[in-house]
Chains A and B, each alone.
Chain A
Amino acid sequence: QVQLQESGPGLVKPSETLSLTCTVSGGSMSYHYWSWIRQPPGKGLEWIGYFYDSGSTNYNPSLKSRVTISGDTSKNQFSLKLNSVTAADTAVYYCAREWFGYSGSGSYYDRFDPWGQGILVTVSS
């Protein structure tokens, strides 16, 4: 059973870079999409982007200029870097396996399962 665990600093200063790592256990990262999702305190979910084991990535257009997601399948880890952070980037950050693809019926399917437990990152000086 695949499990995910986020790690990284819980406090980041404004204008600096937020860096988090997700460690995948219980399975291989190969042939899967691996994603980051965040949730500001008391608010809803926001997809940040995904990394695919071939090295391809896709990001939320609203964050694309500041985000990099990368992976090291040999270590079963993938990472998130978000630069030039502000207080608006304060959130619980989740990593998750994303099941994404194009079906034969012409529609995209997408879901996140499983999720990590999440890590609260606060942006403050």
Chain B
Amino acid sequence: QSVLTQPPSVSAAPGQKVTISCSGSSSNIGGNYVSWYQQFPGTAPKVLIYDNNKRPSGIPDRFSGSKSGTSATLDITGLQTGDEADYYCGTWDSSLTAVLFGGGTKLTVL
């Protein structure tokens, strides 16, 4: 069981908005920056969001991130069928001195 908690799955219709949550503690999310990764089956993860809310070049602004206290969220608006993937949050844990990942959330676009 991951220290960072994500819902196992979320779903929404094309064009709609979905929010994926990532819950942690003061030693990880509460004190450090959060990143989000998108992973399609059989491929390596790709960073979507870093430093809580920054997008690498090439990532559409339909993807946004935020953090409040010990939780972080990834919002995806204007959902497309091509967004169906697994999404992971990640952050540094200052107590463990290690990187933590959430358990992952499978997004289904109905």
A: which residues have CB within 8 A of B?
A: 35, 44-47, 58-61, 94, 98-100, 103, 106-113, 115-118
Which residue on B lies nearest to A113, using beta carbons? Answer: B47
A-B residue pairs in contact (CB < 8 Å), sample of 30: A44-B2, A44-B88, A44-B103, A45-B45, A45-B88, A45-B104, A46-B101, A47-B98, A47-B99, A47-B100, A47-B101, A58-B97, A60-B99, A61-B97, A94-B44, A99-B50, A103-B33, A107-B33, A109-B51, A110-B32, A110-B35, A110-B91, A110-B99, A111-B35, A111-B47, A111-B50, A111-B90, A113-B47, A115-B44, A117-B43
Secondary structure of the A contact surface, majority rule: strand
Tell whether B7 is near chain A: CB-to-CB under 8 Å.
no
B: which residues have CB within 8 A of A?
A: 2, 31-33, 35, 37, 43-47, 50-51, 56, 88, 90-92, 94, 96-104
Tally A-B pairs: CB < 8 A: 75
Contact of B90 among A45, A106, A116 (CB under 8 A): A45
Contact A108 B92 (CB under 8 A): yes
Which residue on B lies nearest to A118, using beta carbons? Answer: B44
Which residue on B lies nearest to A58, using beta carbons? Answer: B97
Which residue on A lies nearest to B103, using beta carbons? Answer: A44
Known: A108-B33, A110-B32. A116 touches B101 (CB 8 A): no
Residues of B within 8 A of A108 (CB): 31-33, 92, 94
